Structure 1
């Protein structure tokens, strides 16, 4: 797998948004426990009577500017969030200027960009309700305003963002209140720029000496190629999911979450600016002591078992990927992308070029497993992972443990 074949870190297609997505990235495969992206691996839906704080609602947002393109986001939001906090989360995910301080009192904004007016027009059960500072209560919970299958239009200083809730998932007290799961940009080549983007600047009155009904020759600003001019308020086309989720979580909370990590792993993630994993780590509730048996604890205390820098990084990448509780294919994909994002290549592992692969190429999942084979055996002995190699062809002495037991073992390894 070459570097060009690796999914990019910046941006990910919003699943279910058709062609309006970008390239796949970590967020497209990084599943949070209880937050899934597809029906095949979906957990059972929460009961209808579930309370607001027990629900995570999947919200899809789309902002379109004619002649420019579609900005799309997928978010997981606490059903108990207020309409105001929901709007703030959506706008932060779009990197809208002034979104972070839109609910901050004017005197505390320190001259930051501001959003003048906003409202959410929500349709649910064939009834249209408007939420704004001058209309319906902006403290109304998201579950009540949109529910599990509602639609709405968010109007921000004259611009519109359509929002749709597309189902609910169970949550607990450690699931993030707001997380951006994916996002993307797709250029619009179907029409001309929208009317709020001026492309020709004729004079507003006829200058003296000109005939009524005619205009002097004025050079017109060239009409840009569709999708190539910038958004009027400066929305970026690239999606920096790490920065978005740090903004949604809050820098102090991020620092607290990373502070609960095993020191070696914390240094790896900080060194690679890999904040994509913050929501996952928050959901794992690393502040609570892991419940593992003494015999298991004795084995896992030797993790990682490798001596080389690349081998130890490979071991940490494996356990982070395993903690997503995904299938083997997805776990391998997360492992490979994490090692690539950390900057490790086949050359770091001392691997010579082979047909179709250079030493400068990223490591693939099989190579990462080989580099961390000793740690892999520790995991398999405890039932935290399957056996690799020939041992996987026979019934192992220690079968893979239940999901709950495995999650506790991963938490034990990740904790400081």
Structure 2
């Protein structure tokens, strides 16, 4: 209930709300209405865990909040561990009258200030400054999942190289480097990493000489000295190390281990 109220920015005043388990056979004859289906459904005691009712793909429950009706359908299920965010909004479109869909604000509220503060304490001050200046707190669940408190197993040679980063001398070059590191930390396809890098630099206020958004290639070009070091230790590129080793490298960089 709290997650849905946060994601949909429902008004703060109290409204009656209930969850219902939907009878999938209720509308097979095509004659029953939504209200009929709800009557034929079972109201769920809110003390139950959601996993008791939404535990496989295409399972459905209904949620009513005041006059609003929501249909909740399981799209996919992923295993979770201690590093998995408690709740996360991954996207949305549109908004209710009087509200605005703000993904970053939603995830900041879902994550909670205590968790944000705890996760950011593991970051080296320059990396933490990128998050705080850009206000892109969507990174917090990612950093939480990286488990930055975990010990890294890297050779002294690699740690020595990482201790020299970033090698750029300008503020723009430093920001470009950390934006690239956050993009690499997503451990996704190149398109995703580039999108994250571009979004971060845009949020920090950087633009090109024509006042246009910087491209991923331009951003990487601003920190070639540092990304060259990252490539030499296997953080990216044709000689990239295995994912588990790349994670250790990124943890070391983000924590300032060297």
TM-score band w.r.t. shorter chain: 0.7 to 0.9
- Given that residues 122 and 146 in structure 1 are in contact (C-alpha distance below 8 angstroms), is that contact kept between their aligned partners in structure 2? no
Number of aligned residues: 241
The one of 178, 187, 190 equivalent to 1:328 is: 190
TM-score (structure 1 length as normaliser)? 0.55
1:28-54 deviations in whole A, cap 9, x for unaligned?
xxxxxxxxxxxxxxxxxxxxxxxxxxx
Corresponding residue for 1:130?
43
Corresponding residue for 2:2?
88
- Kindly state the Cα deviation for residue 118 of structure 1 after the two structures are TM-superposed: 1.0
Secondary structure at the aligned position of 1:370 is classed as helix
The one of 160, 170, 185 equivalent to 2:79 is: 170
The one of 228, 233, 256 equivalent to 1:382 is: 233
- Given that residues 60 and 73 in structure 2 are in contact (C-alpha distance below 8 angstroms), is that contact kept between their aligned partners in structure 1? yes
- Given that residues 89 and 248 in structure 1 are in contact (C-alpha distance below 8 angstroms), is that contact kept between their aligned partners in structure 2? yes
Tell me which of the two structures has the higher relative contact order, counting C-alpha pairs closer than 8 angstroms and 6 or more residues apart: 1
Corresponding residue for 1:255?
117
Pair 1:411-2:240 in alignment: no
Larger radius of gyration: 1
User: Which structure: greater strand fraction?
Assistant: 1
Corresponding residue for 1:148?
56
- Kindly state the Cα deviation for residue 346 of structure 1 after the two structures are TM-superposed: 1.7
Corresponding residue for 1:364?
215
Corresponding residue for 1:185?
94
Secondary structure at the aligned position of 2:88 is classed as strand
Gaps of 5+ in 2: 26-39
In the aligned structure 1, how far is the partner of 2:166 from the partner of 2:21?
51
In the aligned structure 2, how far is the partner of 1:172 from the partner of 1:293?
28
Corresponding residue for 1:395?
none
The one of 154, 164, 170 equivalent to 1:292 is: 154
User: Which structure: greater helix fraction?
Assistant: 2
In the aligned structure 2, how far is the partner of 1:124 from the partner of 1:247?
33
- Kindly state the Cα deviation for residue 290 of structure 1 after the two structures are TM-superposed: 2.6
Gaps of 5+ in 1: 1-86, 99-112, 187-229, 348-357, 388-398
In the aligned structure 1, how far is the partner of 2:252 from the partner of 2:42?
47
Secondary structure at the aligned position of 1:120 is classed as strand
